[in-house]
Structure 1
């Protein structure tokens, strides 16, 4: 097979209409594992295939790309840069996006390889070509370019090349093309900044982060909304948060939340501001964030009661995030009746809101009610129990009713709430006191999707693995639930199977 690939590679360049030969070569290449391909192609030149990319025939280009992709992946990144530098550079400006993506993918391999990256740093024009690809209309090309430059920045020489040479000017020139492309460069800069304090230092010194932070208070509300998303990503790393705090960005965003009340266009960017603080609270400390920026917590409660679905959705997600930690639960508890009225609203939405809001409500409620075994102190158990009873006069019936509706996402959302309380003694007592609930758990005919079966299995698992379950449920129920668990989520009884066949 290796010899046939060599002969096909030799013959192909002299053929007038090479599509058939290219197809044969592609088939031959796919028949050999990439690991075995290396020996048979490493001594071969691929100039003929690269030359065949210079055509308007899309089928021919596609076959050449597939062949080159297969062969180049078999070669080491160092071999590729040493032997095909000119071809890669040409690929970056080729009119076909498939060829551009091929070149960028190979450059991504090269910059991630310790030996090959030193080589490519000498070829300024290639790296400039990658930066220019960020300005391409085709998003897949731009993404591949961003990915390659992000990998390049993982080494100090790569950072030096990007930010301490005229490549920085090339980035700024590409940014000037349009708002969309400016944000692609910001995306790259935020990605690089997140790697380490050193890489953040390079990005900050370039002036690009200051430029991004300046967009937060720009006149265009859509640009402002995108800037907030980027800054939220920057805040994912500890060094990123420290930098933003030093720049006074947390205070600036808190002031933007205050100012949003008088801005008729605030609905475009307000959800992003709230998400920023929600993420901050989870990564640092819910108590510290809510105490330092009370405007954030007040706004979340306000949005939960707002009639605008976009506001409600973000509030629900944020409340779920806050309530997923013990500290967050304690922060919510301190607000007393305020949070109880929000919880009632969540319950109403879960029962009768638009489907998407119902799902988000159910997820938030399950996060708020969840306690890990090591978190189950007397106070916290009393707290989650009291919150469960705020949901409805008959919360078990309410959630069971939601779980019987013919929408898999609602069914699974309701089961997740039961999973949250199944690990807690008060939840187990409610379950055993609710007529027919154990039968509902054991009934495999409800929820026929894979997701529903998995959610039910997880619920039974949470119940059975609790140290108090055997005593509270009684040995008979406990053994039946353990059997259910042993049979697995997709078990079908033989009797049911025979009955089905007969019906067919």
Structure 2
């Protein structure tokens, strides 16, 4: 029997009796988890949540955890503005609670509030809240070991560590969001107590220091103003020194620094700052020597390739010509015996070639290497583990993608040559070998592979040479305009390909009248229809 709202109201009111709290919280937790979202919202509206918050004023860890389990679903149903208006004091007070589970809960709720409204974010941007967040990123309050602790408390300790890590991640997310606001940036001014607190917490461990680096890179990447504020703190300089360090250094720490530098380089203002600081030149020298050390090759090389891939995506001609160690190492890595390294190199080539300028730069400066790469990509699509096969197909799709205004003679020729070069014509093969390769993946019983392969056809369906290929490759148009017991996402992807093909003004130059009729009928049927004749459709599920 469904529990009434009155039942919940009565149980929460009984929490004022401290001796019954554990039993009542357990009952409430079970009952709340059984509610659907609509009922949960209705129940929450009339509950005095302050009584549940009062249960947190306890040294009983189980009671605190149960109270958190009850509060989280209830708070998540409250509209952000109402949440802050009604419970701002108790929530901000809970930020300093010794329980990491509770701190994680309120930090996640504050993240929801901040994302909802810039005005609400400004309300939360207070120095004392920032200091509490910084402490949580640092792993929470430093407390002494409880005397006489028994061995059977190990499981509880492991759970607390997980809760602390979860709270730390929520604190990072909240600080990133608050730090990108005008008031948040103002609090990061040089000489502020926040910077002193960050420095103090950063000294606790490498892991904690990199949590703060992550926050600062996120703020710096958000806007030129954010970058300026973070640069003034000088934390970026410390991070860059760690990334460029030579000799006896912690390889994993350096790899983390390089990963964050790649993120900083993603926006144009970040890439410009990195250029000004001479970071790319220093890292290019490191890249040229990376194979001298096995550990560096395993951990640092992937991050170096990703870094140069990011700036190469923004300025492909300049990066490929200025830092020759990058393309040389990139193409060499595709012959590696390490599958993960191959995946990084493959994704990096495709990321640089995603834009029209990237395609032109790769073709004009490294035409022979790209021809070899496309043949290698055709092999990798078949032999790699499934996640990397999906990545390879996504990369192929990005190399084939051209906006309408980019479809000039040069770029159309480049993309067609690359696609055809993926499965070069051999004895016994056909001129459609590359299309047949991708089509064969569409027929495999793996949804993620089917979707990735269909994305390739979506990319070429708006290109004149792609339309000719679809029209002439035996069985390909039929494959794209039929449903064979596929799930919804695959149906929608096939429909998207056909709709894009039909909507292109150049399609009629390639498809016959009967093919156009089939295409029009299929598109008219929609993703939930099916063809039952050349111009007839039925809707699946209809009688």
TM-score class normalised by the smaller sequence: 0.7 to 0.9
Q: Give, in angstroms, the shift of residue 296 of structure 1.
A: 1.7
- How many aligned positions are there? 491
Q: Give, in angstroms, the shift of residue 115 of structure 1.
A: 7.4
Counterpart for residue 290 of structure 2: 260
CA distance in 2, matches of 1:451, 1:230: 34
- Could you list the per-position Cα deviations for residues 266-290 of structure 1 after superposition, in whole angstroms to 9, with x for gaps in the alignment? 22111111111212222x3221222
1:340-355 equivalent positions in 2, closer than 5 A: 340-355=371-386
Counterpart for residue 412 of structure 1: 451
1:67-466 equivalent positions in 2, closer than 5 A: 67=71, 70=74, 73=78, 75=82, 77=84, 80-81=87-88, 83-84=89-90, 88-89=92-93, 91-95=95-99, 97-105=100-108, 108=111, 114=119, 117=122, 121=126, 124=128, 126-136=129-139, 137=161, 138-163=164-189, 164-218=191-245, 219-265=249-295, 266-282=297-313, 284-334=314-364, 335-391=366-422, 392-393=424-425, 394=430, 395=433, 396-445=435-484, 448-466=486-504
Q: Secondary structure of the residue that 1:315 maps to in structure 2?
A: helix
Q: Give, in angstroms, the shift of residue 144 of structure 1.
A: 1.7
Kindly indicate whether residue 58 of structure 2 is the aligned counterpart of residue 54 of structure 1: yes
- Could you list the per-position Cα deviations for residues 221-259 of structure 1 after superposition, in whole angstroms to 9, with x for gaps in the alignment? 111111111111111222222221111111112112112
Moved more, 173-182 or 375-384: 375-384
- Give me the CA root mean square deviation: 3.7
Question: Paired residue for 2:70, among 66, 72, 78?
Answer: 66
Q: Give, in angstroms, the shift of residue 340 of structure 1.
A: 0.8
Q: Give, in angstroms, the shift of residue 214 of structure 1.
A: 1.3
Would the aligned equivalents of 1:78 and 1:110 in 2 still touch at CA under 8 Å? no
Task: Mark the CA change 1:297 to 1:167 in structure 2 (over 3 Å): closer, same or farther.
Answer: same
Task: Mark the CA change 1:424 to 1:114 in structure 2 (over 3 Å): closer, same or farther.
Answer: closer
Task: Mark the CA change 1:54 to 1:501 in structure 2 (over 3 Å): closer, same or farther.
Answer: same
Task: Mark the CA change 1:64 to 1:291 in structure 2 (over 3 Å): closer, same or farther.
Answer: closer
Task: Mark the CA change 1:474 to 1:252 in structure 2 (over 3 Å): closer, same or farther.
Answer: same
Moved more, 154-163 or 366-375: 154-163
Q: Give, in angstroms, the shift of residue 501 of structure 1.
A: 12
CA distance in 2, matches of 1:499, 1:203: 57
TM-score for both structures, normalised by structure 2: 0.79
Q: Give, in angstroms, the shift of residue 356 of structure 1.
A: 3.5
CA distance in 2, matches of 1:344, 1:362: 13
Task: Mark the CA change 1:493 to 1:336 in structure 2 (over 3 Å): closer, same or farther.
Answer: closer
CA distance in 1, matches of 2:73, 2:486: 42
Moved more, 430-439 or 203-212: 430-439
- Could you list the per-position Cα deviations for residues 288-343 of structure 1 after superposition, in whole angstroms to 9, with x for gaps in the alignment? 22222222222222222333212211121122222222211111221232221121
Q: Secondary structure of the residue that 1:16 maps to in structure 2?
A: helix
Task: Mark the CA change 1:10 to 1:420 in structure 2 (over 3 Å): closer, same or farther.
Answer: closer
Kindly indicate whether residue 15 of structure 2 is the aligned counterpart of residue 12 of structure 1: yes
TM-score for both structures, normalised by structure 1: 0.84
Q: Secondary structure of the residue that 2:17 maps to in structure 1?
A: coil
Would the aligned equivalents of 2:525 and 2:539 in 1 still touch at CA under 8 Å? no
CA distance in 2, matches of 1:340, 1:45: 65
- Could you list the per-position Cα deviations for residues 465-489 of structure 1 after superposition, in whole angstroms to 9, with x for gaps in the alignment? 2222223211111111111111112
Q: Give, in angstroms, the shift of residue 54 of structure 1.
A: 0.9
Moved more, 470-479 or 12-21: 12-21
Counterpart for residue 485 of structure 1: 523
Would the aligned equivalents of 1:9 and 1:46 in 2 still touch at CA under 8 Å? no
- Could you list the per-position Cα deviations for residues 181-233 of structure 1 after superposition, in whole angstroms to 9, with x for gaps in the alignment? 11111111111222333332332222211111111134111111111111111
CA distance in 1, matches of 2:10, 2:371: 77
CA distance in 2, matches of 1:323, 1:29: 47
Would the aligned equivalents of 2:397 and 2:459 in 1 still touch at CA under 8 Å? yes
CA distance in 2, matches of 1:36, 1:56: 27
Would the aligned equivalents of 1:194 and 1:237 in 2 still touch at CA under 8 Å? yes
- Could you list the per-position Cα deviations for residues 405-435 of structure 1 after superposition, in whole angstroms to 9, with x for gaps in the alignment? 3333333333333333322222333333333
